[in-house]
Structure 1
C-alpha cells in the first residue's frame, strides 16, 4: 500500500525525527503545509520529493491524504485536527494533546464525528526500557501498584538547543498552555493514567524559580491520589545537566521496577528490586518489533491493519492526561486539591 501523508506545521521540533523516519520509506508520498518559507526549505532539504504548501486547507484539498501528522503549537493543534478529520484523514498529534482540556475535547469530538483514528504521540512509548517496565507493571508482575514516580526536564528549551520556531511558542503561555509543567508533567501523568486510570484527586505546585525573563513556569511537582496508590511527577527547565534518575519508578506490593536511562557508554536498564534482590535484578529488555519501533511505523501499521490506536498513545489516554494537567493548573492556582472528573466547562 502506498501512503499519501500530510504534515501540518513544522514548529514542533519533534517533527524532524518523524520526517526523517518517513523519508526513509519507499511507500510514502509526503506533503507539508507550513506558512514559514524557511521551515519549508529546511524540510525540503530532508526529503527532496516533498510537496510543499503554505496553508493546511490547500494541502488537504489537493493531496487528499489518508493520514495527517500535526506539529504546531499546543493551542493550535485542535484546529488542525478538526480540519484534517473533516477531510477524512486519520490524525497523529504530537504530545501533549493540547494546551487545555477544552481543546483536547474538540479533537475527540472531531475524530468521533468523522470516524477517523486519532493518536497522541508520546516519545516515551517508543523507549524499549520504559515500554517493558510499563508492560510488566500492567501485567501484575510486581503486584498491585502502590506508587509511581517520574521526573523529566533539562536546562530550558533554549539552553537545550531547540529551534527559535519551537522556543517562540514554548515560552508563550497562550500558545503552550504553560512551561515546564505542560512540557514534562504530561509524560509522567500519561504513564500514571495508563497504569492506574484517572486519579481521584490532584495537587500541584508550579512556579517560575529562575527564568525571570520568561512568562511561563520553569519547575513543577504534580501529585495524583488514587484510592490505593499515588503518583508523583516532577518537571524542570532549570536542570544543571541531565535530570538524575528520571525513571519511571513503579512500586508494587511484591517488588519495584526502576528504569535507568541509557547513555553513550551504557544501555538503558530495567531493575526489579525486592526483598530478595535488594541491589536490583537486571531484567532483559526485549526490542520493539519493526512495526512498533517508532511513532510513524506504529501509526501506519495500525491504519493498514485496521486495528485501534491503543495503549499510551491512544486518544483516550491523551485526553485524560490533559484533564489531569488541567486539574493541576487549577490546584496550583487555587492552592487546593482538585477532584476528578472535572465539571464540564472547567
Structure 2
C-alpha cells in the first residue's frame, strides 16, 4: 500500500519538477551593440547557445572570452553554423541589412528567427522575409526594448479600457546624444551610421519605436499618410545619414508624432497618449501618469510605479522560447509580431520617401 502511494505521488509530482525544455539557439553576427543580451540569456536553464556565426575572429574571441565560452561554437558562415549545430531558433545580432540573409538561410530549414529592431532595412527586404517565413511556417519576431516596458503594456490597457477616451494624438520620443557620443563599439558604429547597412540614421534607429507602438495602440491600423522631415545636425559624427527625424502619421481619427534623435543630451524613451477626456504619460519603463481633465487646464493625476511585465513578456528571450515551443501565441499586431512590423516598415519606407522629396506620402488602400 505504501509503495503504491509513493509511486502515485511521484507520478503526480514529476511534471512539476521536470526540467524545462532547453531551446537551442544560434547567434547570427556579433557586431550589434545589444549582443550582450543573448550571452546573458545563455546563463539561463531554458536557453542554450549552440553556435555563433561571425567571420570576424578577433571580435568573436573577445566575446567568448568575456562570457566564458569556447571558440568551438564560432563558425565563419551562418550556413555552416546551421548545418553543424542544428539550432531551433536564431537570434540576429548583426547589421539590419543582414536580417534578410538570416531569414533566407533559416526559413527553408524550419529555423525560427528573432531580430533586433527594426525588421529590415527596407520594405522590399521585409516583404521577402515575410514571404519566406509564411512559406516555411517559421516564427519571425522583432525585438524592441520598449516591448518589455511595463508602462507600454499599462498604457495600452488603459487606452483600451476607455480610461482617457478615444485617442486623438500619440507622441513617441526616442533618442540620445548619438551613437558616437554615447560610445558604442567601433563594429556597431561602422554599420549603424551606414545608409545601406542600417537603412538610414536616426529615422530607422529610433523612428521604428514610434511606428511599432502606434500600430499596436491603434490595433493594427495603417496610416492614411506619412510626412517626415530629417536633418543632419552633426555631420562630423554622422556624415552619411540623418541624425534628426520627425515623422507625422495621420489616421482617420488620430495623429501620431514620432520624434527620433541622435542629438539629445539626455537619452529617453517615452510616450504620450491624448484622449478625449484625459492623457497618459509613459515616462520610462516603470513610471506612468494618468491625467484626467478638469475644466480648461486643470486635471487630477494618478501615478503608477510599475514592476516588470508578467512573464514571458518581461524578457525577449522568454517570448522567443514560449512562442517557438507553442506555449504562447502572440495577439494580433503584438509588438513582436510580423504583421505589426510589416506596417512599421511601410511607415519607415514612406518616411524616407517623404523626407527625400519634401512631400507627404499617402499609403495605398
TM-score (norm 1): 0.92
SS in 2 for 1:215: coil
1:131 aligns with 2:153: yes
Determine the C-alpha separation between the residues in 2 that align with 1:157 and 1:331. 24
1:98 aligns with 2:120: yes
Moved more, 25-34 or 58-67: 25-34
Deviation at 1:306, TM superposition (A): 4.7
Deviation at 1:284, TM superposition (A): 5.1
Superposed CA offset, 1:72-121 (max 9, x none) = 21112111112111111011011001111000111101101110111011
Identify the match of residue 41 of structure 1 among 54, 57, 61: 61
SS in 2 for 1:13: coil
Identify the match of residue 231 of structure 1 among 241, 256, 260: 256
Moved more, 203-212 or 127-136: 127-136
Determine the C-alpha separation between the residues in 1 that align with 2:341 and 2:85. 28
Determine the C-alpha separation between the residues in 2 that align with 1:261 and 1:307. 26
Q: Which residue of 1 aligns with 2:322?
A: 301
Superposed CA offset, 1:40-92 (max 9, x none) = 11331314257211110001011111111111211121111121111110110
Contact 1:22 1:296 (C-alpha < 8 Å) held by counterparts:
no
Q: Which residue of 2 aligns with 1:209?
A: 233
Deviation at 1:254, TM superposition (A): 2.1
Distance 1:3 1:133, change over 3 A: same
Q: How many residues align?
A: 335
Contact 1:118 1:309 (C-alpha < 8 Å) held by counterparts:
no
Identify the match of residue 313 of structure 1 among 336, 347, 351: 336
Determine the C-alpha separation between the residues in 1 that align with 2:98 and 2:122. 11
Consecutive unaligned residues of structure 2, counting only runs of 5 or more, are 1-20
Superposed CA offset, 1:169-193 (max 9, x none) = 0111111111011110110111011
Q: CA RMSD in A?
A: 1.8
Superposed CA offset, 1:189-243 (max 9, x none) = 1101112221101100011122245110010100000111100001111112334
Superposed CA offset, 1:281-335 (max 9, x none) = 1135353223222100111012223543441110111111010000011111111
Segments of 4+ moved more than 4 angstroms: none
Determine the C-alpha separation between the residues in 2 that align with 1:86 and 1:309. 23
Q: If you compute each CA radius of gyration, which structure gives the higher value, 1 or 2?
A: 2
Q: Which residue of 2 aligns with 1:270?
A: 288
Q: Which residue of 2 aligns with 1:63?
A: 85
Contact 2:164 2:292 (C-alpha < 8 Å) held by counterparts:
no
SS in 2 for 1:313: coil
TM-score (norm 2): 0.87
1:338 aligns with 2:338: no
Consecutive unaligned residues of structure 1, counting only runs of 5 or more, are 263-267
Determine the C-alpha separation between the residues in 2 that align with 1:30 and 1:163. 25
Distance 1:88 1:185, change over 3 A: same
Identify the match of residue 325 of structure 1 among 344, 348, 353: 348
Determine the C-alpha separation between the residues in 2 that align with 1:290 and 1:306. 12
Determine the C-alpha separation between the residues in 2 that align with 1:200 and 1:228. 10
Identify the match of residue 198 of structure 1 among 222, 232, 253: 222
Q: Which residue of 2 aligns with 1:219?
A: 244
SS in 2 for 1:23: coil
Contact 2:22 2:45 (C-alpha < 8 Å) held by counterparts:
no
Q: Which residue of 2 aligns with 1:11?
A: 31
Distance 1:27 1:225, change over 3 A: closer
Determine the C-alpha separation between the residues in 2 that align with 1:120 and 1:236. 21
Determine the C-alpha separation between the residues in 2 that align with 1:163 and 1:40. 14
Determine the C-alpha separation between the residues in 1 that align with 2:213 and 2:152. 10
SS in 2 for 1:283: strand
Determine the C-alpha separation between the residues in 2 that align with 1:241 and 1:306. 39
